[in-house]
Structure 1
Amino acid sequence: MIFAILVVLACSLPGNTHLTKAKENEGSTKVQPGIEVLLESHLDWIKGKRVGLVTNPTGVDSNLVSTVDILYEHPDINLTALFGPEHGIRGDQPAGAYVESYIDERTGLPVYSLYGSTWKPSKKMLENVDVLLFDIQDVGSNVYTYIYTLGFVMEAAAEYDKEVIVLDRPNPTGGVRVEGPVRTPDTVSFMGRFLLPVRHGMTVGELATMWNHEYNLGVNLKVAKMKGWKRTMHFEDTGLPFVLTSPNIPTTETAFLYTGTELLDDTSLSTGLGTTKPFELLGAPWINGEDLADDLNGRKIKGVSFRAAYFTPMFGNYQGQRLGGVQVHIENESAINLVELGLHIVDAMKDQHPEKFKITSSYDSLIGDKRVRPMILEDRSVEEITNLWKDELNDWVHNVRNHYLLYGPYPEKAQPYKNKGVLGIFPYDLELAPGQSKDLTVISFDKDGKKINIEPSLLSWKVEGDVGSINGNTFTAEKAGTGLVTLNYKDLQGKRSVIVAQNIINNIRHSVNPGYARVVFDLNKNTDYQISEEKGLLILTVPYAEIGPPLSTNENKTITIANSPIISKVTFDIVNGHTFEARFHLKVDKVRYEDPYFSNRIVIDLMNN
């Protein structure tokens, strides 16, 4: 009798409510997401540790119970901090919006924004965390920001000696098809150092595994793999509920089509934002819907059909205007080449009124290859464009991607990933000016996640490319150019790309936003810099630097910033022969600031007090 009462009490405790629901749901879905597998099979990974969670509304179990609530209420889990990506942890922020950190009302835990003043968790954010869990539903596109938030989380975890566990989820575009150009370094923006094709066909757990090895991040990484997921599955096959991944990805159809129809962005065409069918309704004010549907259906694009449509966006591009276009209807997901689909739609719309079609330079970053935009403007065929990258893509698929797959059925000649340990090299960005030196740090974990004590005498360094030399663990840049630093340690190998060039500050831009002012320095490459403070001043210095155009044409060496309560101007010059110095003239004695990471830029956000 006493035992029965105890059982009833245990099941009624708040900490067990969601666990009971998960148990009740076993067998009703084909796929178990990573959060359920973690609790069922790997609780020892986090028990007794301080847990940080990177998530948003898509982080739910198969009963739609939030991962935040599951972990917070679990009696054996110590959840200490929450981290939110673009759109925030509750998903209520619009695309691209600056998201502040705050205290979560439901749990009382700090929520640190990773899409605001910083994209990378700071040491202070992680001071009460031992292990970081990542539980966010991705959409399978290389321009969706959540996976890059994971990349920055991994970098911070390695830097501050934290573990990372990815709670894996399905890829809505499937795990078979891989399409589009592999992103080139000169098209990087938020995407950091991680170069992917437009459609990568990998889960978030597979991406994390690949990045950890291919970029030698040196993260103590584990993946709570899904149970029951197969590469050939569509999201509808998983039996899992779909939660809108962002405000404009409300359905599984949208999540699937996004990777293709997003390729209309950065043009004068509408992707349907501001309608109830974003990324399905596509058009422009000057498009005849019937003619467009006839053209696209006549192209016999596999897996889809097109219906003439007219719509009026409630916000975004062409707000309040009546647009002509089409709605894309999915007939066979497995047959659809999403990148070709997007390019065909762009081509067909452009053909109706070439003089009204516009495409911005930002398209290079969208598609990840600077060769594409000129070819679109030259009216080259979709086949010609996609032939550009076929060999490069096949090489990446066979020699990189296919080594890190965690789920079958596996492609021909591919084998399941086997963890043999990981080697990390710091810093990640080895970009110096001639004469600069940088100490390199090495960390390593074995296949079981145990940290390896590095024996310095067994480190074997090599520099390729005639750009510098290594003495001990110190690299010294000697000659301008690009090269590669390679490392062999026992049976592990690592590499780090090297760029040696004078630091060039090309431009200074600024914006005044609600709550903060942002000053951006455009550079030719990533570089070291320092920020110091004096009364009424913030001083930025960049060593081994020179001023390039268009900034060099600013004879007054002054950037005036109007309408900001924080800063009046930025003055700049070269001091001590080779150091760039920028002085922020403040309207207050002291200011709170952040310097979020951006590739090839220095960004300073000055906060209103």
Structure 2
Amino acid sequence: MSLLFGCKGQGSGASMPAEIPGAARVDSTAQNLKVGANRTEVYFPLLRDKKVGLVANQTSVIFRKDEGSGEKTSYTHLADSLLSAGINLVRVFAPEHGFRGTADAGEEVKDGVDKRSGLPVISLYGENRKPSRSHLEGLDLVVFDIQDVGVRFYTYIATLQLVMEACAEAGIPVIVLDRPNPNGQYVDGPTMEPHLKSFLGMTPIPLVYGMTIGEYATMVNGEGWLEGGKKADLTVIPLEDYTHEAEYSLPIRPSPNLPNDKAVNLYPSLGLFEGTDINAGRGTEYQFQRYGAPYLNREYFTFSYTPVPNPGAKNPKHKEATCYGEDLSSAPVLRKVSLEWLIRAYKHCDRKDLFFNTSGFSKHAGTDKLQKQIEEGLGEEEIRETWEADLEAFSGIRKKYLLYP
């Protein structure tokens, strides 16, 4: 594995910014931060005269700064930029939500052709989660550039791992263009138990692991977590002027149901509801900023809302039904995984037989223990104590692969 550091300077992409669904403001409190994709002077030379595959979605962009103010004001999609620069981009690979990021969570993404670029698109969230030999045939290298949010069950890191694994088997180098982790300031939550390995968690890491996607790639490689202990020929293009304490506001929705900073911040905690029968705001404009169900006690929970189909949630839980729960859109910023709302919802649920009536909770949590602890009435601090030894062990592993202070 190699880390490439280049000189400072704004990378250039295509002449016109791509219009990307779900775009938010393009800014950051880390004003001088430069994402890996913008360091074109470092990685473009590695792509010249090569047949390139690209794993990307709507977040895979090169930012452009306003000449006067220096603020990031627009962006171009990486695929469009590579083509404009004369790079021989042969095909693209799409993760969950698709290449342009418009598919629902869990919705199968199909192979096809990208209308904007004309490139063939291979789905990694349909029949295949891992690129096949035929998908990689004729490629000299693969570039991976997707914005992550630092939560184990967010599936982009599973896609990264399977891409690295396929490329290691085929002898094809992988270049990861690093991006900030908006939840990179802390490490917390239960650590995944090996028997619960799935696409919602493939490695024994905590729920929130406090690493950028480039750092995570180096750890997967270094710890021998690829199938058969193989090692990918991995190059990470690091961020510039980034620290794990940096507050980073995502400029583009990383997926349809993470619309803003508050949703991203609450996602590690409210995402646990995804493995229950409780709605976590899907079917509203406040995804992962509220929760509720028709059978949460309406005398205790005075807030209510009604999920309806919308972009990113064509069939939300409890569609068209009045849900009672809590509005968390004004909750304080978290720097930990909170179990407060999960415990409260279960405690004041009138149909406890329905609460965990799905097959996914243990896979989301990464452990069978959490459901049992909640059902037995343990408090949050009691549960958190059971995470401590695993978190300490992981911190020792994590330290070896950190690229940033």
TM-aligned CA deviation for residue 103 of structure 1 = 2.0
How far the C-alpha of 1:53 sits from its partner, in A, is 0.6
Who is 2:259 aligned against?
Answer: 250
Query: Residue 211 of structure 1: SS of its match in structure 2?
Result: helix
Please give the alpha-carbon distance, in whole angstroms, between the structure 1 residues aligned to 2:236 and 2:330: 32
Q: Is the 8 A contact 2:13 2:78 kept in 1?
A: no
Alpha-carbon distance in structure 2 between the residues aligned to 1:16 and 1:56: 17
The question of whether the paired residues in 2 share the 8 Å contact of 1:86 and 1:93 is answered with yes
Q: Percent identity?
A: 35
* Secondary structure of the corresponding residue to residue 176 of structure 2: strand
Give the corresponding residue for 1:365. 363
The verdict on how the C-alpha distance between 1:192 and 1:122 changes in structure 2, with shifts beyond 3 A counting, is farther
- Aligned partner of residue 124 in structure 1, secondary structure: helix
Which whole-Å CA distance do the structure 2 matches of 1:192 and 1:18 have between them? 38
2:238 to 210, 225, 239: 225
Shift of 1:108: 2.2
Alignment: residue pair count = 361
Letter in 1 for 2:389: D
- Whether 1:168 aligns to 2:162 is no
2:404 equivalent in structure 1: 407
Computing the radius of gyration over CA atoms, which structure comes out larger, 1 or 2?
1
Q: Is the 8 A contact 2:13 2:62 kept in 1?
A: no
2:96 is the alignment partner of 1:86: yes
Q: Which amino acid aligns with 1:336?
A: R
Cα deviation digits, residues 190-245 of structure 1 (max 9, x gap): 14642221001110000000000102431110111111111101223xxxx52111
Return the offset for 1:172.
Answer: 1.4
**Matched-pair contact (CA < 8 Å) for 1:281–1:309:** no
- 1:380-395 equivalent positions in 2, closer than 5 A: 380-395=378-393
On the 8 A contact 1:211/1:217 being kept in 2, the answer is: no
**Are 1:111 and 2:113 matched, yes or no?**
no
1:189-204 to 2 correspondences below 5 Å: 189-191=198-200, 193-204=202-213
User: Could you tell me how far apart the structure 1 residues matched to 2:264 and 2:387 are?
Assistant: 24
Which residue matches 1:454?
Answer: none
Secondary structure of 1:42's aligned partner: helix
SS at match of 1:17: coil
Q: C-alpha distance in 2, partners of 1:267/1:376?
A: 13
C-alpha distance after superposition, 1:114-171 (max 9, x if no partner): 1111111111111121111111111111001111100000001100011111111111
Match for residue 235 of structure 1 among 218, 232, 248? 248
User: What is residue 54 of structure 1 aligned with on the other side?
Assistant: 55
Q: Aligned Cα RMSD in Å?
A: 2.2
In the alignment, the residues of structure 1 paired with residue 236 and residue 200 of structure 2 have an alpha-carbon distance, to the nearest angstrom, of: 22
CA contact (8 A) 1:31 1:227 kept: yes
Asked whether the equivalents of residues 271 and 278 of structure 1 are also in contact (C-alpha less than 8 Å), the reply is yes
- The structural deviation recorded for 1:374 is 1.0
For the structure 1 residues 359 and 179, does the alpha-carbon distance in structure 2 shift closer, same or farther, using more than 3 Å as the test? same
1:70 is aligned, of 70, 81, 89, to 81
Residue of structure 2 aligned with 1:213, choices 208, 222, 225 = 222
Contact 1:18 1:70 in 2 (8 A): no
What displacement does 1:332 show? 4.9
CA displacement 1:231-274 (0-9 Å, x = unmatched): 101223xxxx5211111111122122111111122223221110
**Distance (whole Å) between structure 2 residues aligned to residue 207 and residue 281 of structure 1:** 30
Q: Distance in 2 between matches of 1:205 and 1:336?
A: 21
Secondary structure of 1:132's partner? strand
Listed as ranges, the matches of 1:518-597 within 5 Å are none
CA contact (8 A) 1:289 1:326 kept: no
Contact 1:170 1:203 in 2 (8 A): yes
1:33 aligns with 2:35: yes
Q: 1:336 to 1:134 in 2, by over 3 A?
A: same
- Evaluate the alpha carbon distance shift between residue 131 and residue 330 of structure 1 in structure 2; reply closer, same or farther with a 3 A threshold: farther
Give the corresponding residue for 2:344: 348
Counterpart amino acid of residue 323 in structure 1: C
CA positional deviation for 1:98: 1.6
- SS of match in other structure, 2:342: helix
Q: 1:319 is paired with a residue of what secondary structure?
A: coil
Kindly provide the CA deviation profile for residues 25-65 of structure 1, in whole angstroms up to 9, marking residues without a partner as x.
9xx9421111111x122322222211111000011122221
1:289: how far off?
A: 6.8
* 1:481-492 equivalences in 2 (<5 Å): none
Greater share of residues in strand: 1
Unaligned 5+ runs, structure 1: 1-13, 20-24, 293-307, 409-609
Distance 1:107 1:317 in 2: 35
The residue identity in structure 1 corresponding to 2:165 is: E
Q: Within 2, Cα distance between the matches of 1:404 and 1:247?
A: 30
Task: Provide closer, same or farther for how the CA distance between residues 18 and 45 of structure 1 changes in structure 2, counting only shifts above 3 A.
Answer: farther
Match of 1:157 in 2: 167
Return the alpha-carbon distance in structure 2 between the equivalents of residues 141 and 401 of structure 1: 15
Give 1:380 deviation, angstroms. Answer: 1.3
Give the drift of 1:291.
Answer: 3.8
Task: Determine helix, strand or coil for the equivalent of 1:373.
Answer: helix
Shift of 1:309: 2.9
> Following TM superposition, where does structure 1 have runs of at least 4 consecutive aligned residues deviating by more than 6 angstroms?
none
Give the one of 163, 183, 192 matched to 1:183: 192
Please report the TM-score for the alignment, with normalisation by the length of structure 1: 0.57
In structure 2, relative to structure 1, the CA distance for the partners of 1:209 and 1:289 (3 Å cut) is: farther
Equivalent position SS for 2:355: coil
Change over 3 Å in CA distance of 1:15–1:389 after alignment to 2 = closer
8 Å CA contact 1:242–1:252 kept in 2: the answer is: no
- TM-score, structure 2 normalization: 0.84
Report if aligned partners of 1:184, 1:195 keep a CA contact under 8 Å in 2. Answer: yes
Name the amino acid aligned to 2:246: M
Code of the residue aligned with 1:262 in structure 2: it is G
